[in-house]
Amino acid sequence: MEYASLSGNGSGGSARYGPMAVETREFRRAVPPVAFDCVKLLLIRDGSTILTTESDTTFASEGDLVFLRTATLCGGTPEQTVTVSTLYIDTDYLFELWVWQLAPIGLDRESLRAYTTRREFLPPLTYVRPAPETAHHIGLVLDDLSDSLTGGASEFYHAQALVSELLHVVAPLIDVTPPSTSPKTSTLTVPALPRNREFAPLRGEALTARRTLHANPARRWSIGDLAEEVHLSRRQLTRVFSTAFGKTPLAYLSMVRTQEMARLLGETNMTVAAAASKVGWRSRSHAIEMFRRSIGVTPDQYRSMTGVRNVDIPDRDWDAIERTA
């Protein structure tokens, strides 16, 4: 990943203290799908990008807001360049702020916590196009918050006030659906996510498994083979990897193959069948279907697109997960 740090945002373009972090980066190449164990709010400061999740493809340009739920696997393909300010905020911290807003209604706390993990509360990715003056104000608050976070503990309450101001502006734009009555706790499953966590996948084995899949996506992987590579049982690997990236290892492998197939189609004269075979898919029809689900268009449609489709898989050590793990 090539990026340029912007002034006023700490070392490497990021600033962090306590339950929140802010970074502003300029991206020039595609970002492979990645998930974080926190909530993310993205403000597009300049340029545009295509964001891809498991179920959605979204085009976002200057002034747009994107809200990503915890463990949402999301990648992006910038059009030429895109500059993004990202707020990472601890899931429990955000929940505590939200639940007190509903406290006078009398809804059960743990039932609400479980309800927020469900899609009917909020989809994995929410796209918002605020008024230009609102987007400008949000950008100023994020910049102030970044500066405040570099001050550490002495600036924490100022940072917290800025988060409250940000939520005051952003929350009305994000259409969450609270339950009309408190759901029964016994019917809901609360994911076992640890507290005091970094804004990154939690286990080294998940990172190793991810690197292994990127290094050799064409291999005919099984859960058993991958589990042996990282010295976990198949069940443990599935749990650890899904917690880190919001997707099972083999489902994640499909997305890696899609990204590499897109690169081949964009940079070489390979046929669709040859590109599919090279990334590990032995059925052309299956490859086309998986490509369409992930990218949103067929391989032939993708190849016919002109301009700004550089989907090079960058150095595998680029991302924030591996910088902070």
Residue 12 is assigned to a structural domain of this protein: yes
Residue 195 is assigned to a structural domain of this protein: no
- Same-domain pairing of 36 and 78: yes
Name the band, by pLDDT with cuts 50, 70 and 90, for residue 71: confident
CB atoms within 10 A of CB 232: 20
Question: Which of 150, 173, 196 is where one domain is finished?
Answer: 173
Q: What tens digit of pLDDT does each residue of 118-166 get?
A: 777 788 899 999 999 999 999 999 999 999 988 888 888 999 999 999 9
Give CA–CA dist 157/162, Å, rounded: 9
- Same-domain pairing of 28 and 166: yes
Q: 198 burial class (0-12, 13-18, 19+ CB within 10 angstroms)? A: middle
For residue 139, the cross-strand partners are none
Closest CA to 127 of 186, 71, 44, 194: 44
Phi/psi class of residue 270: alpha, beta or left (left: φ > 0; alpha: ψ in -120 to 50)? beta
Strands 74-89 and 31-34, sheet pairing: antiparallel
Cβ partners under 8 Å of residue 112, min gap 6: 99, 102, 178, 179, 182
Residue 215: pLDDT over 80: yes
pLDDT at 270: 87
- Same-domain pairing of 111 and 159: yes
Q: In this structure, what CATH number is given to the domain that contains residue 226?
A: 1.10.10.60
DSSP label at 48?
E
Cβ partners under 8 Å of residue 304, min gap 6: none
Q: What tens digit of pLDDT does each residue of 11-68 get?
A: 345 666 678 899 999 999 988 888 887 899 999 999 999 998 877 889 999 999 999 9
Enclosing domain of residue 284: 204-324
Give SS3 for 322: helix
Q: 210 burial class (0-12, 13-18, 19+ CB within 10 angstroms)? A: buried
- Same-domain pairing of 132 and 232: no
> How big is the chain, counted in residues?
325
- Same-domain pairing of 95 and 151: yes
CB atoms within 10 A of CB 91: 22
- Same-domain pairing of 103 and 248: no
Residue 196 is assigned to a structural domain of this protein: no
Cβ partners under 8 Å of residue 156, min gap 6: 17, 18
Percent of the chain with pLDDT strictly greater than 90: 36
For residue 49, the cross-strand partners are 60, 78
Residue 280 is assigned to a structural domain of this protein: yes
- Same-domain pairing of 140 and 208: no
Residue 192 is assigned to a structural domain of this protein: no
Residue 185: pLDDT over 70: no
Question: Which of 173, 193, 217 is where one domain is finished?
Answer: 173
Q: Which of 38-52, 248-262, 283-297 has the lowest mean pLDDT?
A: 283-297
Record the pTM. 0.55
Residue 253: pLDDT over 70: yes
Give CA–CA dist 93/39, Å, rounded: 10
Residue 232, both tokens: 């976990």
- Same-domain pairing of 11 and 154: yes
- Same-domain pairing of 166 and 225: no
pLDDT at 306: 33
- Same-domain pairing of 149 and 252: no
Give CA–CA dist 294/292, Å, rounded: 6
Query: Please, are residues 29 and 263 in contact by the beta-carbon 8 Å criterion?
Result: no
Instruction: Name the residue type at position 321.
Output: I
DSSP label at 227?
H
Q: In this structure, what CATH number is given to the domain that contains residue 108?
A: 2.60.120.280
Name the band, by pLDDT with cuts 50, 70 and 90, for residue 111: low
pLDDT at 203: 76
Residue 183 is assigned to a structural domain of this protein: no
pLDDT at 16: 66
Mean pLDDT of the chain: 78
Give, in order, the Cα–Cα distances in Å from 98 to each of 74, 85, 102, 164, 186: 24, 23, 7, 11, 22
Residue 187 is assigned to a structural domain of this protein: no
Q: What tens digit of pLDDT does each residue of 75-98 get?
A: 899 999 999 999 999 888 888 888
Query: Please, are residues 273 and 284 in contact by the beta-carbon 8 Å criterion?
Result: yes
- Same-domain pairing of 320 and 223: yes
Residue 198 is assigned to a structural domain of this protein: no
Evaluate the CA torsion angle 299, 304, 65, 259 in order and state its sign.
positive
- Same-domain pairing of 160 and 19: yes
**Number of domains forming the structure of the chain:** 2
CA 279 to chain centre: 24
Residue 50 phi, psi dihedral angles, 5° rounding: -105, 125
